[in-house]
Structure 1
Amino acid sequence: MAVSRLASSTSTVSKLLLRPLSAPPFSRSFSEAAAGDDQTVLTIETSVPFTGHKIDPPSRSVEATPKELFSFFRDMAVMRRMEIAADSLYKAKLIRGFCHLYDGQEAVAVGMEAAITKRDCIITAYRDHCIFLGRGGKLVEAFSELMGRRTGCSKGKGGSMHFYKKEAGFYGGHGIVGAQVPLGCGLAFAQKYSKDETVTFALYGDGAANQGQLFEALNISALWDLPVILVCENNHYGMGTAEWRASKSPAYYKRGDYVPGLKVDGMDVLAVKQACKFAKEHALKNGPIILEMDTYRYHGHSMSDPGSTYRTRDEISGIRQERDPIERVRKLILTHEIASASELKDIEKEIRKKVDEAIAQAKESPMPDPSEIFSDVYVKGYGTEVFGADRKEVKAVLP
């Protein structure tokens, strides 16, 4: 797919409609400046309009404070650095098994969090590291899990594809393509049953968009008006297959037919924030809605995929230059003199240091004890039987 097709709906810089803002003096630290200007509100126009299906789209004008823009920059920069470090750790064989990186798609995770609360639920597929951080997870917990260490968010037994943070409403990390969508609809059923005015975001990729279970779950969710938002993170390639080769209709926001949908520039964090806020309000009143996030991954599908055999390097570099979510926010911060270029560089250096420290700490964590192999798998008290390879030796293992 040519760059022009992927970037055709994009302008290089978001247009700004600014309410009065006095630039903070750089003699103060940024945290002081941001806190001081937290009452100032910027009205920023999204890069491109939203496109609706069976629904009127939200306004392109999004409100944000200088402090919020700074948090977007920092959070996405942390996610980017974590994934780049994970690439190196995998190549050094400190991360084993499957590993799917999220760099390029950070605006989806960060924009979604900006529109909801930790009482709302999120469930996703195997590209889950940054969603975990967005839910409040720690870098050391992420790297420990990636390296199979006991201090990982899944006790070192889940690995890259199975991050969890249940107390913050993050229900995984799932390795079976599309299987998380029915589970997400089940979470939404529980939310409606409990009448707690929360919603579930069920994320999946364009490669999973043709799964039958997705349509089955959506059907019953629509029948019961469940508060679920189906989010298709369309990075345009299901593994190594371009969307137009896999889907007769790659307009994924329309694929729900009887369910309204919205196409969103998933590389614009403010557009994602606006869309998710809009979708939550809709789902609480009317039931399911589909969001198609038009995004892009810089790495291949997984670490075993170089990502260069089915797309050109020019395509990847073109997206980086025109649509990179971090660079867009950097431009907004610099345009309004919220911080200087050197201050942002200093922040990125500090992030690199924090990531390196988290990696070092994770390396010191022990591996899970073999005796814990069945813990957190079977219901406590029931146990299971373990057979030897020759099927002769049998012993009972109780949790």
Structure 2
Amino acid sequence: MELSKEKLIELYEKMVLIRTFEMKAEEKFYNNEIPGFIHLYIGEEAIASGIIDHLRKDDLITSTHRGHGHMLAKGADPKLMMAELYGKKSGYCKGKGGSMHIMNFELGVLGANGEVAGGLPIAAGAGMAIKMIKKTDQVVVAFFGDGASNRGAFHEALNWASIYQLPIIFVVEYNNYASTVNSEYATSVKNVADRAKGYNVKGVTVDGNDLLAVHEAAGEIVKAVREGSGPVLLECKTYRLKGHFVGDPMNYRDDAEVEEKWKNEPIGRFEKYLKDNDYLDDEKKNEIWSKYTKIIEDSVEYARNDEFPAAEEALEDLFADDTGYDY
């Protein structure tokens, strides 16, 4: 698939948006401005950017505790994202969800999830509703990590999706570590996509740090699933450059390993491609980074100045009423 210069720069900017958001979130967490825990998407930006570019607004995604990148790629406002991380009232979940449970129905984001593999059954339910009730050509993308692929919900969701030929793309962000456990040790197969065979589902493995490879594979898969091909398991090989959570001492891996992996991170690789093909120069690069740095700094200022939800609102929104969203 030949992409225009405009599209290539758009995808680059999306990755820069995610990276600058995450860098600032890390900084403000260390400054004790953000409560709870933060799990960063740094090093995995090509996956969300490359896949979600093919989705429509009414397509649905389920996310993980490492979900900021998914939200931003789906069109989330950084100000409302940051307000949620700060626990403020105008955040996407009124400050009650925080980093690990952020969601927004208007964007088609059915929720990040603190429970590992927790989004997979939700994706199966959404796919079932599309197939059996709504009868539209919407697709669902379920993002999850390699650790989640070793939990029962993964197998149940794939089996269910295969039986009913649901319009779901299961995306494994294989980032090498399930919390503190090396995935090569804890996973019975080299490629999680090979497990698709056990459920009569197509499995595809791509380099998750190569934006163009992710984008091309996702384009073909989204088109096929939208046309009724049934579910697909897409595995994106990447690396979690930061700790499991901000503040993780990372005693389970060597600094040299992480340093080596930084040489293959997706934004730097894509910058090289853009420069080699005369799509990007240093002036344009600096302009883009300055633009998004300013956007994220403004988001922090917005979040700082927003109000906390009132104490009497603590028990509101515990149960789902009619959302009013036709998803």
User: What TM-score, normalized to structure 2?
Assistant: 0.93
Matches within 5 A, 1:1-399: 62-193=1-132, 194-256=134-196, 257=198, 258-284=200-226, 285-307=228-250, 309-321=251-263, 323-378=264-319
Query: Counterparts of 2:90 and 2:99 in 1: how far apart (Å)?
Result: 14
The aligned counterpart of 1:25 is none
Q: Percent identity?
A: 32
The aligned counterpart of 1:389 is none
**Offset at residue 352 of structure 1 (A):** 1.3
**Offset at residue 283 of structure 1 (A):** 2.5
**Offset at residue 379 of structure 1 (A):** 5.1
Check whether the contact 1:282–1:289 (CA below 8 A) recurs between aligned residues: no
Larger radius of gyration: 1
Check whether the contact 1:299–1:306 (CA below 8 A) recurs between aligned residues: no
List runs of 5+ in structure 1 lacking aligned partners.
1-61, 381-399
Moved more, 357-366 or 211-220: 211-220
**Offset at residue 177 of structure 1 (A):** 0.9
Q: Secondary structure at the match of 2:150?
A: coil
C-alpha RMSD over aligned residues: 1.4
Query: Counterparts of 2:121 and 2:318 in 1: how far apart (Å)?
Result: 21
Check whether the contact 1:240–1:310 (CA below 8 A) recurs between aligned residues: yes
Query: Counterparts of 1:186 and 1:276 in 2: how far apart (Å)?
Result: 22
List runs of 5+ in structure 2 lacking aligned partners.
322-327
Deviations 1:310-362 (A, max 9, x none): 222222222221x2211122122222222321221122122212211110111
Deviations 1:278-316 (A, max 9, x none): 222332422111011101121101124133x22222222
Query: Counterparts of 2:257 and 2:8 in 1: how far apart (Å)?
Result: 28
Deviations 1:114-168 (A, max 9, x none): 2221221110111111111111111111111111001111110000001112112
Moved more, 370-379 or 131-140: 370-379
Q: Secondary structure at the match of 1:290?
A: strand
Moved more, 83-92 or 276-285: 276-285
The aligned counterpart of 2:325 is none
Deviations 1:63-110 (A, max 9, x none): 211001111111111111111111111111111112111010000110
| Matched length | 317
The aligned counterpart of 2:324 is none
Query: Counterparts of 1:318 and 1:118 in 2: how far apart (Å)?
Result: 37
Check whether the contact 2:40–2:66 (CA below 8 A) recurs between aligned residues: yes
Check whether the contact 2:271–2:280 (CA below 8 A) recurs between aligned residues: no
Query: Counterparts of 2:14 and 2:26 in 1: how far apart (Å)?
Result: 19
**Offset at residue 374 of structure 1 (A):** 1.4
Runs of 4 or more above 6 Å deviation: none
Check whether the contact 2:53–2:73 (CA below 8 A) recurs between aligned residues: no
Check whether the contact 1:69–1:329 (CA below 8 A) recurs between aligned residues: no
Query: Counterparts of 2:119 and 2:85 in 1: how far apart (Å)?
Result: 20
Q: Which amino acid aligns with 2:177?
A: Y
Moved more, 209-218 or 336-345: 336-345
Q: Which amino acid aligns with 1:361?
A: Y
